[in-house]
Amino acid sequence: MERTHYKQEINMTEALMSRINELISHYPEDKRKSALLPVLHEVQDAHDNWLSIELQDKVAEILLIKPVEVYEVVTFYTMFNQRPIGKYMFEFCQTSPCCLNGVEDLMDYTCEKLGVGIGETTADGLFEVRGVECLGACGYAPMMQLGDFYKEHLTKEKVDQLIADCKDDKIILHDK
């Protein structure tokens, strides 16, 4: 399948490389490939939450595997983004228990408020709304994932507050 090729600036900082090497050390010497998923997460977090082909090639080089082995994995798992995405990605769980608690209305509300459709990024590149499958928080519905964290028992007011906090740069996305 033909895919659009997006460009990205790659910056493998020392901190990132040392974390990658630590992750690699979790596996036997000849099983470096096993570190692929955790390494992809680290690299993605350090690169605006998406992975260009060049970045994936870089990961392949570090783990001594073929680039296609990385592409296969990146395209299989839902958490790896293959295009530039909004800085704050609101990933609403839209599986049954969350629907019972009104997540669909909340998604409509959020989309309307941000002026985007599901899967779209706002013009300022700040927000993106997505519907995802069960996140394992059914008892705390409706909820969404924002960065590394869950925002639970959501209401329209809480969504408003979150949007305001994001704009004020008050939201921590990653727990490093």
Partner 1 sequence: MSQKILLDKINIPGIKTYEVYRQNGGYASVEKALKTLTPDEVVEEVKTSGLRGRGGAGFPAGMKWSFIDKKSGKPRHLVCNADESEPGTFKDRYLMEYIPHLLIEGMITSSYALGANRSYIYIRGEYMWVYKILERAIAEAKAAGWLGKNILGSGFDLDLYVQIGGGAYICGEETALIESLEGKRGNPRIKPPFPAVSGLWANPTVVNNVETIAAVPWIVNNSGADYAKIGIGRSTGTKLISASGHIKNPGVYEIELGLSVYEFMNSDEYLGGMSSDRPLKAFVPGGSSVPVLPAHLIYKTAAGEDRLMSYESLSDGGFATGSMLGSGGFIVYNDTSCIVRNTWNFSRFYHHESCGQCTPCREGTGWMEKVLHRIENGHGREEDIDLLVSIQSKIEGNTICPLGDAAAWPVAAAIRHFRDEFEYHIRFPEKIKNRDHFVAEPFEKVKHLVTKQTV
Partner 2 sequence: MKVTIDGQEIEVEAGTTILQAARMIGGDVVPPAMCYYSKLKGSGGKCRCCLVDVTKGSDADPRPMPKLMASCVTGCQDGMEIASKASPRVQEARKSVTEFLLINHPLDCPICDQAGECDLQNLSFEHGKSASRYIEEKRTFEPEDIGPNIQLHMNRCILCQRCVQVADQLTDDRVHGVMDRGDHANISTCISKAITNEFSGNMIDVCPVGALTDKTFRFKSRVWFNKPYNAHRECTTPGCCGKTTVWMFGNEIQRVTGRKDEFHEVEEFICNTCRFDKKELTDWVIEGPREFEKDSVINQNNYTQKLEKVEIATEKNILLGRDQDRKKISMASNPLDINTQNS
- Residue 139 binding partner per list partner 2, partner 1, none, with a CB distance cut-off of 5 to 8 Å that depends on partner kind: partner 1
Of 133 and 148, CB closest to partner 2 = 133
* Contacts to partner 1 from residues 124-153, by CB under 8 A: 133-141, 145, 147-150
Closest CA to 103 of 83, 63, 130, 70: 130
Of 84 and 97, CB closest to partner 1 = 97
Interface map 36-75 toward partner 2 (x if CB under 8 A): -----------------x------------xxxx-xx--x
DSSP for residue 132: E
Of 67 and 131, CB closest to partner 2 = 67
Binds partner 1 (CB under 8 A): choice among 8, 12, 16, 34: 34
Distance CA 20, CA 62 (A): 9
Question: Residue 92 in contact with residue 129, Cβ under 8 Å?
Answer: yes
Of 21 and 78, CB closest to partner 2 = 78
Binding flag, residue 119, partner 1 (CB under 8 A)? no
Count Cα atoms within 13 angstroms, Cβ side, for 110: 33
Question: Total residues contacting partner 1 (rule CB under 8 A)?
Answer: 44
Closest CA to 126 of 49, 14, 59, 11: 49
Binds partner 1 (CB under 8 A): choice among 4, 5, 76, 157: 76
Q: Is 99 annotated as a binding residue?
A: no
Q: How far is the CB of 71 from partner 2 (least distance, A)?
A: 4
DSSP states of 103-169: HHHHHHHHHHHHT--TT-B-TTS-EEEEEES--S-GGG-S-EEETTEEE-S--HHHHHHHHHHHHTT
Instruction: Tell me if residue 136 falls in helix, strand or coil.
Output: coil
Annotated binding site for [2Fe-2S] cluster: 93, 98, 134, 138
